[in-house]
Each structure stands twice: as structure tokens, then as C-alpha cells.
Chains A and B, each alone.
Chain A
Amino acid sequence: MSNMNQAMVEKYRNDFLKEVKANVEEGDWVQMCMQCGVCSGSCPFGPYWDHPPQELFMMIRAGKREEVLSSNSMWMCTSCYNCIARCPRELPITHIMHGLAHYADRLGLAPKEQPTRKFANRFWDNLVKKGRVNELKLGVSLYFMNGFIEGIKTAMAAAPLGMGMMKAKRLSPMEYFGGHGVKDSKGLDAILKKARQIEDEKIAKYNS
């Protein structure tokens, strides 16, 4: 168990809703869910969620901490915003799902092999490196996220598409060497570092 997870368990004991409200982005809204199920019925990946949003909200209130945070479910969010547009109580459900996923990952409870968890982390690492996304490197890192052998297979399968994209000048092998980026990367790094620091301090304060 990660240190942060241990600390949270001790701090909140059986009050998982309180923990979510304090630590999850837009978590304050969870208690407003009226269990109508419109979100679950509106989700394009609905059939693949172990627990659709409405169920997650009830589980949070019921204190099912492990089951929620180690769940595959919120990683199924495609950010289509159907649930936000349709929720009669105007819960920012998309953001709560992102917030739960981020929090679970931070605590080390998210399923390690969850493909969207891996991809979303690689996307963030890719963009902060130079301030802009390097699509080629992101693609290559994606192919190899399940190991080298699997990666060669995936890359081979995707090769025709890659060639098509290069022919259409929508992908360039030159991106592997340098590629696009911001000029003031020092400034951007400093901003992101400070933002992270403020956020960490805030979480520490809630939990002291």
C-alpha cells in the first residue's frame, strides 16, 4: 500500500464520501446524484463499465473504497460529455470520472494494466516534455506499452496506417528527432512544477 493511500485510509476510516469530497476533482458533487441512471444509459462505452457512474456514486456513499478506486470503470470515460449534458442535477460527471481515475492512480490503486491508464499517463508525459504533443513518439510509446514483443506486433499491424499518414503528410519520421515544442520550456516547466506543488500542499492540508 502506498504511503499516501495508507494515510488516507487512516484519516477517513469509513467515510469514503468525505475523502472523495476533499480529494477528488469536483468530488463535492457526488452527494447530489439522485440515482436516475441517465448517465449510465447515455455512455457510449456503457456496456463495458463494471460500475457505471450512477453506481459508482452510490458505492462512494456506501463506503466501498477499494472497489471504487481499483475499478476499471472510470477509465472507460471517452470524454463525450453526454452525461454532463443530460444529468438533471447538472453534476459534472465527466470531470468526476477523470478526478476519480486520477486520484486512484495517484494512490497506486488503479489497475496497472488498464490500457487507458497507461495511455493517458503517456500522453501527459509526452506533452510536458516539450510543451506540445509529439504524435510520432506518442504512437510509438503506445505500441510498446505492453512490452517489446507485443509492441513489434502492434507496430507492424499499424504500419499500413502509418505509411498512409506519412504519404498524406500527416505524420513525419523527423518528429522522432526533436520535433515541435515551445521555446520557453523553462518557463513552462516552472509553471507546471509550481502548480503541482500547490496541489500537493492543498491535499496535505486537507488531510492534516
Chain B
Amino acid sequence: MSKKEYSFYPGCSSQKAASASNYQTSVNSMCDVLDIQLNEIPDWNCCSASIGYAGGGELPRLALSARNMALSEQAHAGQDIVATCAACWLATRETKERLLHDEALMKETNEALAAGGLKVEANQDIRHMVEVLIEDFGYDELGKHVQKPLEGIKIAGYVGCQTNRPFGIAGESFENPKYLDKLVETLGAEPVENYDKKVSCCGGALAFSEPEKSQALIKDIIESAYDGGAEMIVTPCPVCQLNVEAYQDNINAKYKTKFSMPVVYYSQLMSVAYGKSGKEAGLDGQLIAAKKLEDIAGK
């Protein structure tokens, strides 16, 4: 396959020394193998995620995403915008749909952008990296690059919320999406069948403001993975990853559980299966070591 280029919106958590910097490391490794060129949107800004609503009204929030889209149209005309973060993808795509749906809103947004010398047309598709993998490559093509099959690892595919609702991945159901399971299989690992918490909420940003309520949700997500025989959880979302990995000590203390479940990104599984080192797969960024993946990467 020939080189594919996309206009890339990395998002705040992907930056150096930020909470999902290891996600970015693995995405770079994965793209290297698949010959994907990510052209970073110059001077992109935060999308305000889904929690920015209290301080920002509708138009300021839309203006944030619209600025990114405008910069992308200027620098990378004709390319799709690709985001790796669920919240970045959702906010940007939502903005595009609202602008195209509502002429008055488009006019007001451009009025605001003009104050910064920009103009938006919203003419680029806004896609999640997972869509790129499934739609532009497909499982067969993704499987062709596997050098080290992830044999003998049982993995729970935790899709979570915002890569799944309200847009989701074409052809997948909201209630039981199967793409992560298929991807796990493609890489030679074994997906947990009937993982009933695969689309349950981890609390999102409210893990910070309502820790106890959120940790009760997270506990169920991890417990159900253990019940299905999982040795690790895989997710496409930086917030899911952080929430499910980081609070296991707190949950253990409160609920007398003994959780120690590694939580990785799909791109980390792919990087290891594609023959990259543990460091290139961002495995040194785990709070709970993904030992089985490290072993395969070290072989």
C-alpha cells in the first residue's frame, strides 16, 4: 500500500510528559509500520473536551474546535482530520456537524474566527484513528504486518463511551461494538467473549470531581474483565485508559480487591505485534506493567 497522509490533531494529553504521552509514542510506531504520515495541525488548541461547558458557552466552545479545523484546512487542504483522543474527535466532529447543520452558527463562528484572522469551511472529514485503521486498511491488511503474534494473551476490549457514542464506528452497534475484539484477534491474541462492561462509563472527567462514584463504576469494569479471564484491558480512549489504570490502588483499599490489571491502548498492542520494542510501544509509560506484552516485545 502507498503512503497515506492525514491532518493530525494530537490533543493535550498526547503531549510530552502528559497523561497519554505513551499513547502517542505507540501511535507513532504503529504509523511507521503502516506507512501513515501524520501531519500535525500547526498551533492546534484544546477542544475543551466534554467538561468545558461550565465556563465556555456554546459559541466559545465551538470556536475552539473551529479554529483547529480552520488551521487544518489552511495547512493540509484535502486531508481528513484524524484524532487519537476520543474527546478531541468527538468535540471536533460535533462542531463540524453543528456548523454544517446551522447556517447562523456557521456565520457567527466565522465572525469569531475572523477576529483571529481565520475562516472555516468545515470541509474535512473528522475521523478517529480507529476508523482509519478499520476503513482505510481493514483487518486483513492490518494482520499482514504482524511479526510477533500476541499468542496466549486474553484481552478485554473496553470500548468505553466517546469513541462509541453518539457517532461510533460505521457498521458497529452502540451496545455491542466488536471492532476491538476483532483487532485483538487480528493480532493473534484472544478477546474476552461477552465482556459485559465493554461500553460502560468510567466516570470520564468526573473521576476527578466525583472520585468515589466514578471508582464504583471503574471497579465493575475491571471486575468484569477478570471474570472473563482477561489478563489485560485494551482501550481506544485516553480518559478510559487513565481512569481504569490509575485508581486500582484506591479501589483495592476501599473494596478489599486485589486488582492489578494492565490497561493498554490498541496502538500498543499493534506496535508490539508489529515487532517494535517495549519502549517504542510506550510500555514504559504503564503504571501497572503489561508484563506479557513486555515479554513478547523483548523476544
Contact = CB atoms under 8 A, between A and B. Distances in A.
Interface in B236-292: 246-247, 249, 284-287
Contacts of B174: 85-86
A182 B165 CA distance: 29
B287 to A, nearest CB: 5
Nearest to B53: A98
Contacts of B45: 127, 131-132, 182, 188
B21 A191 contact: no
A102 B67 contact: no
Interface string A166-190: 0011111011000010111011101
Interface of B is mostly: loop
A116 B209 contact: yes
B228 to A, nearest CB: 20
Contacts of B58: 25, 99, 199
Interface residues of B, number: 66
- Identify the 7 closest CB pairs spanning chains A and B, nearest first: A124-B55, A120-B54, A187-B116, A172-B17, A79-B50, A81-B165, A80-B201
20 contacts: A78-B205, A78-B214, A80-B201, A98-B53, A123-B52, A125-B55, A128-B56, A132-B12, A132-B46, A133-B46, A142-B209, A165-B287, A171-B17, A172-B16, A174-B17, A187-B117, A190-B115, A195-B60, A198-B111, A199-B59
Interface of A: 25, 44-45, 48, 76, 78-82, 84-86, 94, 98-99, 101-102, 105-106, 115-121, 123-125, 127-128, 131-133, 135, 142, 160-161, 164-165, 168-172, 174-175, 180, 182-184, 186-188, 190-196, 198-199, 202
Given A76-B206, A186-B116, A192-B64, 19 more contacts: A76-B210, A79-B162, A98-B53, A99-B53, A116-B54, A116-B210, A123-B51, A123-B54, A132-B46, A133-B12, A165-B19, A170-B20, A170-B285, A172-B16, A180-B18, A190-B116, A194-B63, A199-B60, A202-B108
